Amino acid sequence: MTAVVVSDRETSGRSLLNRRLDGLGTTIFAEMSALATATGAINLGQGFPDTDGPEEIREAAVRALRDGRGNQYPPGPGVPELRTAVAGHQSRRYGLSFDPDTEVLITAGATEAIAATLLALLEPGDEVIAFEPYYDSYAACIAMAGATRVPLTLRAPDFRPDLDALRDAVTPRTRLLLLNSPHNPTGMVLTPAELAAIAELAVERDLLVVTDEVYEHLVFDGVHTPLISLPGMRERTVSISSAGKTFSFTGWKVGWVMADGPLISAVRTAKQYLTYVSAGPFQYAIAEALRLPDTYFDGFRVDLRRKRDLLGDGLLAAGFEVYQPEGTYFITTDITPFGEKDAYAFCRTLPERCGVVAIPNSVFYDDPDAGRSQVRFTFCKRDDVLTEATTRLQLLAS
Ligand code: PMP
Ligand code: GLN
């Protein structure tokens, strides 16, 4: 029967994919990682470390599995140990107080947190203002909710948001601001003044705000400030983070949402029907990870800052224009110095030209001109891998 339906659709020329998802195709991360696998190139594309996180945290996951903790459906909102650890982390680092029972929700990575939040809070036709270049799942989730994406373009070389343009972008249909700081892919980190201006606007125009803070521990100068800590923001902000980047276990997919009770309750309603729950034993391990001493978080940041400089210097030496990131583990570059303009075409051929994979930022923009020649490289790799990659990239200039 299914085959008949498919063939009916094909003969009528209708796409199987619904209109809302039209054009989203395969994620650029999957496409470029597949290219790396197929060609054997060094993968500086998709952001995942080539070294696992702390051994004691991996052991904690093994222990949980062996002890039978989380091997059957854990509670829908997440195991109490992890909800308590998330609340403890927010209190210790930012002086924020969240009730683990009513104001914290555990999700399948930040990806599910974003999806559940947008599906819960948006009506069809609502407008969502988000920075572009945007993390790709934002576009997909806004589309799935039937809402409209309104981009606020971050422009090279410093990628600072234009706060006047942000103010002008708010209309009576604007439901929420979807913010990401530290920002993937540009590495921009919002300043205290920018955070204050955004908060003021959100209060004035009565907007909800969703903050994606998955790189909260990768701010190289200064400190991360959650927008939810600013005056007037607590009741209108959904704060999202996850374990993947901070603890170098991106495959575990443990994330969390923090917000006031009514917002959490709305997000939980959507989340229940996406995955219900996820990753039982890993939740116990991440509860331990969140309680690691400050020396872990400091060491992680210092190591990544050193890698940022190693890769940045190598990319400069290879001839790229390099935009120094203030946070995240990505460096955005421009390929114009090579006489090239099309980041996607460049990334498609980079493995055969010099055995390296990168991500074209151009796919994260609605404005095709804004990021046409920008290419992103990750530096969450071993030093020898970064050095070998930049040596190979020097072939571009020869
Ligand atoms: N938001 C941003 C900005 C990201 O870069 C990523 C990738 N880690 C995610 C969300 C998704 O995080 P997770 O792997 O926890 O789903
Ligand atoms: N966040 C990762 C990156 O930006 C990718 C995660 C994914 O593949 N969806 O590289």
Q: Ligand nearest 115 Cα, by number?
A: 1
| Average pLDDT of the residues in 189-212 | 98
Of 24, 28, 29, the residue with max ligand 2 atoms within 8 A of its CB, to mutate for a pocket test, comes to 29
The confidence score (pLDDT) of residue 2 equals 33
Say what the alpha-carbon torsion angle 306, 310, 313, 314 is, to the nearest 10 degrees.
Answer: -170
Q: Burial-class residue 69 by CB neighbours within 10 Å (0-12, 13-18, 19+).
A: middle
The confidence score (pLDDT) of residue 368 equals 79
Where would I find the H helices in 232-318? 243-247, 261-272, 280-290, 294-318
Question: How confident is the model over 326-348, as pLDDT tens digits?
Answer: 999 999 999 999 999 999 999 99
Of 107, 135, 378, the residue with max ligand 1 atoms within 8 A of its CB, to mutate for a pocket test, comes to 135
The residue count of the chain comes to 398
Residue matched to tokens 């020649």: 373
**Rounded to whole angstroms, how far apart are CA atoms 308 and 285?**
28
User: What are the phi and psi torsion angles at 241 (to 5°)?
Assistant: -150, 180
The confidence score (pLDDT) of residue 12 equals 60
Q: In what order do the strands lie in the sheet with 359-360?
A: 321-323, 330-334, 374-378, 359-360
Give a three-class secondary structure readout of 79-123.
Answer: CHHHHHHHHHHHHHHHCCCCCCCCCEEEECHHHHHHHHHHHHHCC
Closest CA to 170 of 132, 134, 207, 197: 207
Å from CA of 35 to ligand 1 middle: 21
For atom 1 of ligand 2, the residue with the nearest CA is: 47
Mean pLDDT lowest for which of 1-5, 180-184, 188-192?
1-5
The answer, yes or no, to whether any atom of ligand 2 lies below 6 A from the CB of 29, is yes
Asked whether the predicted pLDDT for residue 74 surpasses 90, the reply is yes
The answer, yes or no, to whether any atom of ligand 2 lies below 6 A from the CB of 47, is yes
In the chain, where the domains are located? 10-53+297-397, 55-289
Å from CA of 20 to ligand 2 middle: 22
Of 24, 35, 48, 183, the residue with max ligand 2 atoms within 8 A of its CB, to mutate for a pocket test, comes to 48
The confidence score (pLDDT) of residue 15 equals 76
Q: What is the mean pLDDT of the chain?
A: 95
Q: In terms of CATH, what superfamily is 10-53+297-397?
A: Aspartate Aminotransferase, domain 1 (3.90.1150.10)
Question: How confident is the model over 99-127, as pLDDT tens digits?
Answer: 999 999 999 999 999 999 999 999 999 99
Å from CA of 110 to ligand 1 middle: 5
Ligand 1, atom nearest to 242 Cα: 15
| Average pLDDT of the residues in 276-302 | 97
Å from CA of 158 to ligand 2 middle: 22
Pair type for strands 237-242 and 359-360: unpaired
Closest CA to 299 of 248, 227, 251: 248
Ligand 1 pocket (Cβ < 6 Å) reads 109-111, 135, 180, 184, 212, 214, 242, 244-245, 250, 253, 255
The confidence score (pLDDT) of residue 367 equals 87
Higher pLDDT, 266 or 7: 266
Asked whether the predicted pLDDT for residue 82 surpasses 50, the reply is yes
Question: Can you say whether the dihedral through the CA atoms of 333, 336, 340, 343 is positive or negative?
Answer: positive
The confidence score (pLDDT) of residue 290 equals 98
The percentage of residues in the chain with a pLDDT greater than 90, rounded to a whole number, is 91
| Average pLDDT of the residues in 89-98 | 98
Asked whether the predicted pLDDT for residue 150 surpasses 70, the reply is yes
Per the CB < 8 A criterion, the answer to whether 331 and 187 are in contact is yes
Higher pLDDT, 26 or 245: 245
Å from CA of 46 to ligand 2 middle: 5
Mean pLDDT lowest for which of 183-197, 302-316, 356-370?
356-370
The tokens for 261 are 């009770």
Ligand 2, atom nearest to 45 Cα: 10
Question: How confident is the model over 3-52, as pLDDT tens digits?
Answer: 333 433 444 667 788 888 888 888 999 999 999 999 999 999 999 999 99
Question: How confident is the model over 210-241, as pLDDT tens digits?
Answer: 999 999 999 998 899 999 999 999 999 999 99
The tokens for 34 are 């597949």
For atom 9 of ligand 2, the residue with the nearest CA is: 29
Q: Which bin fits 107, alpha (ψ -120 to 50), beta or left (φ > 0)? A: beta
**Rounded to whole angstroms, how far apart are CA atoms 335 and 350?**
12
Per the CB < 8 A criterion, the answer to whether 107 and 272 are in contact is no
Å from CA of 18 to ligand 1 middle: 25
| Fold that domain 55-289 belongs to in CATH | Aspartate Aminotransferase; domain 2 (3.40.640)
For atom 15 of ligand 1, the residue with the nearest CA is: 109
What SS3 state is found at 152?
A: strand
The tokens for 18 are 């619904």
366: Cβ contacts below 8 Å, ≥ 6 apart: 132, 149, 151
